[in-house]
Structure 1
Amino acid sequence: MNIALWIAGGLLALVALAGGLTKTFVPQQRLAAQHGGEWTANAGVGFVKGLGVLEILAAAGLILPAVTGIAPVLVPITAAGWILLMIGALITHLRHEGVSTLMLLHVGYLALAAFIVWGRFGPESFTA
């Protein structure tokens, strides 16, 4: 179970890092032209870049506390925050595109985060 939780955390951290770097460093016009990024056309630049920074911090929060042993309880807390972020992403994509296959990806990320929250607060807690 511990290995599965590490894999889930690593995968989610990679997704968060990729999304965060994209939102932070890719110009908004290019983001808006990509499939799934249409919503950025109507969003403020600061908002999109702020989300990007938040995702980069989430990537760090899913891995670094456990690796360093400094406040490892932040791992499931970060995963819980990711759940909220994915709920927002689902709502945003639903409003802009209707039901799409991209939403299935967000549901998958949400499920991974829920697994981490359950596992790290429960049977494989870092504090146990």
Structure 2
Amino acid sequence: MHIAYWILAGLLAAFYLYAGTLKTTRSRDQLRPMMAWVDRTPLPALRALGAVEVLGAAGLILPPLTGIAPWLATAAALGFVLLQAGAIAVHLTGGDRRIALNAGLIVTAAVTVWLATRL
């Protein structure tokens, strides 16, 4: 179970660290080719979302690694489930039906929640 957690948590953390860093550092024009929804989102909200993703990535890795408040890993993974549920809603309300990545991330985060409760 520990190995499965670390594999999934590592993949999720890498993805969200990358995505969050892009959202906090790049301009709307640079993000538009990757994320069609950025024009419908205020820039401060986009930056905040990126910061939440970076902090969530740290929350998946640091608490179990250090042994300090390991329940935060479960909270971070659950937060990513909720984040992706919101992302699917944003995509669908904007007429964008490309939600396969979001669906994959929500399943991966849900399995990570389950594995984090077993640590």
TM-score w.r.t. the length of structure 2 is 0.94
Task: Provide the C-alpha distance between the structure 2 equivalents of 1:98 and 1:41, rounded to a whole number of angstroms.
Answer: 13
Task: Provide the C-alpha distance between the structure 2 equivalents of 1:119 and 1:14, rounded to a whole number of angstroms.
Answer: 18
Report the aligned-residue RMSD: 1.1
Q: How big is each residue's C-alpha offset from its partner over 1:24-74, in whole Å with a ceiling of 9 and x where there is no partner?
A: 001012212x14x12111211100000000000011000000111110110
1:113 to 106, 109, 115: 109
Aligned residues: 119
Task: Provide the C-alpha distance between the structure 1 equivalents of 2:28 and 2:66, rounded to a whole number of angstroms.
Answer: 35
Query: What residue in structure 2 maps to residue 2 of structure 1?
Result: 2
- Runs of 4+ with deviation above 3 angstroms: none
**Gaps spanning 5+ residues in structure 2: where?**
none
**Gaps spanning 5+ residues in structure 1: where?**
none
Give matches, 1:43-54, under 5 Å.
43-54=41-52
Query: What residue in structure 1 maps to residue 79 of structure 2?
Result: 81
Task: Provide the C-alpha distance between the structure 1 equivalents of 2:116 and 2:40, rounded to a whole number of angstroms.
Answer: 37
Q: CA deviation at 1:90?
A: 0.7
Task: Provide the C-alpha distance between the structure 1 equivalents of 2:96 and 2:102, rounded to a whole number of angstroms.
Answer: 14
Counterpart of 1:117, as a letter, is V
Q: CA deviation at 1:117?
A: 1.0
Q: Counterpart of 1:98 in 2: which secondary structure?
A: coil
Q: Counterpart of 2:97 in 1: which secondary structure?
A: coil
Task: Provide the C-alpha distance between the structure 2 equivalents of 1:62 and 1:39, rounded to a whole number of angstroms.
Answer: 26
Query: What residue in structure 2 maps to residue 91 of structure 1?
Result: 89
TM-score w.r.t. the length of structure 1 is 0.88
Max radius of gyration: which structure?
A: 1
Q: CA deviation at 1:97?
A: 3.5
